[in-house]
Amino acid sequence: MIIERIVGNVATLENRPPHMEYIYMDSDQLVKRIQRLTTDHGNEIGVRLGKNEELSDGDILYMDEKNMMVVSVKKDDVLVIRPGNIQQMGEIAHQIGNRHIPAQFDGEEMFVQYDYLIEEMLEGLSIPHQRENRKLKEPFRYIGHSHD
């Protein structure tokens, strides 16, 4: 089966079929437009999305009156950084920016993929942080850059 469009998302679905199959994915797979995936029931599917389409947690890739296949994003190993003040926020933003590490923000929290060197840096700067497994809303995106 080849999937070429996202049917919907379970968060906005009113009537669900009685049977659900899950496709467990790492968050970095969400940005891949073409890939082969396997459901938790062993069914293989191919995904070929349009140029500006990306998968998200809860996306429905197939649905009929009896069955649906749903994307479920695995939790990421992240450092959750909670700066106590603007000074700490500036220090950590500068340090992470210099390393070109992608970050995400949610309210007062900053997320970066776990890295022991970043953790050591945070400890050295006395910036509150914690290592956690979290399901993130979007994948980390690396932005190309050079110091020419």
Q: How confident is the model at residue 143 (pLDDT cuts 50, 70, 90)?
A: low
> Would the pTM count as exceeding 0.85?
no
Instruction: Using the predicted structure, report yes or no on whether residue 19 has a pLDDT greater than 70.
Output: yes
Each residue of 101-122: b (16+ CB within 10 Å) or e?
A: bebbeeeeebbbbeeeebbebb
Cβ within 8 Å of residue 46, ≥6 positions away: 1, 2, 3, 34, 35, 36, 37
Domain range for 46: 2-73
Q: Assess whether 89 and 118 both reside in one domain.
A: yes
Tell me: do 31 and 63 sit in the same domain.
Answer: yes
pLDDT-based confidence at 148, cuts 50/70/90? low
Domain count, the chain: 2
CATH of residue 109? 3.30.70.790
